[in-house]
Amino acid sequence: MIWYPYAQMKTMTPPFKIIDAEGVYLYTEEKKLIDSISSWWCVIHGYKNPEMNRAIAAQVEKFSHVMLGGLTHQAAEDLSDKLQAWLPGDLNYSFFSDSGSVAVEVALKMALQYYMNRSKKGRRLVLALDGAHHGGSFDEMNQSEDVRTMILALEHAYHGDTFKAMEVGDDEDYHFVLEAYGKNRNIIHIPTEIDALEKAFAAYGERLNSFIVEPLLQGAGGMRMYDVSFLRRARELCDRYDVLLIFDEVATGLGRTGNRFVADLVLPDIIVLGKALTGGYIGHAVTVANRKVYEGFYDDDPSHALMHGPTFMGNALACRAALKSIELFEREDYMAKIKRIEEVTRREMEGFSDPRVKEVRIMGGCVCVEVFDPATLKGYQQFAYERGVFSRPFLKYLYAMVPYVITEDELVKVLSTMREWFRR
């Protein structure tokens, strides 16, 4: 028995059974559907892409997986080299993991230990100067002022479904189980307003180890979009207070906002990529740190090492899928495709309004129609299905995040289906 995600098993409508998929299309026994949400935003090249398939198949012939503990391989090395060259600034140090949530955990762990390592170093120096002997208990360190244990995050954030990722998240609908533990006072949530940002840094700046954000576009929290000026100010404040800035680009990376990465506009200390990284062919993610973070671990002391290692990190099939995904993205000028998707979307949604609609938001390859009342969207999935579109609205949000290989006609069909719903 499959236990399905985000669903009340007792009352859920049965899912559509997919028997084949190609390009932007999903096939059920009786229907051909445009996948308007790219299987949770990751199938950017469409399904059954011959080049993606060949890249994975060629690696299968060699080996599918070897661990990265004590072993390495060409696919992981190639992907790390590619990311180093492709990502902006000195985001050069790739730590692989098997999903976006885990990669977020890794980023948060990096940020915390970065300051632990630093404060240990500092204290060792003091002890050495005092002639005292090496080391000190963890308790002692935990109490010391210089270990920064607080994290700043955004209201309505979604960073994944593992526990620390849930804690930095802020969405009752996903994270309500945390209520059982009470509020974590080490995590502060602020709205995407510069005023709130400045206040938070003034109050907690010295105690924060990191500020984690979904930059420009908050996905699962409701496709909320905000201005880059907020991130610019965040970068300045992080520099001033020596706080690590983490961009969770699991959803926004590889073009979704109309930027290759939001990190091209404002440079974080750590970036997390997932979802579209492998074109949706195999689950994989990566946490990429800059030189400053990496150097915070680089030491003769073994206890300064990052103690993390997902079994399937650097999986060879996933690395080959990611390499091909990036190659297609560059070679086929995906940034132009995404720009076109945004233009067509703006044109098609121009002048659209309805008393039940609160707002229409468009950014890059994402469009969201927010309604006042979730009941307004009840029945939409079936309505779209009958018209040959697969959609999965949630709460008050009817949205599309189409595969970048979609044609103009197909995109128009997705958008007109959305508009039609309000004309019944």
Ligand X SMILES: *Cc1c(COP(=O)(O)O)cnc(C)c1O
Could you tell me which stretch among 45-53, 175-183, 203-211, 214-222 binds ligand X (CB under 6 A)? 214-222
- Return the residue nearest ligand X (CB atom): 100
Binding ligand X (rule: CB under 6 A), the pick from 43, 83, 251, 263 is 251
CB nearer ligand X, residue 209 or residue 278: 278
Active-site pick, 170, 248, 269, 396: 248
Active-site pick, 25, 158, 174, 399: 158
Per-residue mark of binding to ligand X, 142-171 (x: CB under 6 A): ----------------xxx-----------
The rounded distance, in Å, linking the Cα atoms of 157 and 224 is 10
Q: Is 82 a known active-site residue?
A: no
Q: How far is the CB of 214 from ligand X (least distance, A)?
A: 5
Binding ligand X (rule: CB under 6 A), the pick from 35, 105, 214, 348 is 214
Chain length of the chain: 424
219 binding ligand X? (CB under 6 A)? yes
Q: Is 130 a known active-site residue?
A: no
**Which of 202, 271, 275, 274 lies closest to 240, judged by CA?**
202
Q: Is 275 a known active-site residue?
A: yes
The rounded distance, in Å, linking the Cα atoms of 58 and 53 is 9
Binding ligand X (rule: CB under 6 A), the pick from 44, 79, 83, 100 is 100
Active-site pick, 164, 275, 324, 337: 275
The rounded distance, in Å, linking the Cα atoms of 123 and 117 is 10
Q: Hey, how many other C-beta atoms are within 10 angstroms of the C-beta on 3?
A: 6
For residue 149 the two structure tokens come to: 């244990």
Whether the Cβ atoms of residue 406 and residue 341 lie closer than 8 Å to each other: yes
94 binding ligand X? (CB under 6 A)? no
For residue 151 the two structure tokens come to: 């994290």
CB nearer ligand X, residue 45 or residue 159: 159
Binding ligand X (rule: CB under 6 A), the pick from 52, 107, 108, 220 is 220
255 binding ligand X? (CB under 6 A)? no
Active-site pick, 6, 62, 239, 242: 6
Whether the Cβ atoms of residue 95 and residue 80 lie closer than 8 Å to each other: no
Burial of residue 17 (CB within 10 Å: 0-12, 13-18, 19+) is exposed
CB nearer ligand X, residue 219 or residue 364: 219
CB nearer ligand X, residue 116 or residue 271: 271
For residue 292 the two structure tokens come to: 């400053």
**Which of 363, 361, 322 lies closest to 342, judged by CA?**
363
Whether the Cβ atoms of residue 192 and residue 154 lie closer than 8 Å to each other: yes
Question: Binding residues for ligand X, per CB under 6 A?
Answer: 99-101, 104, 158-160, 214, 219-220, 248, 250-251, 274-275
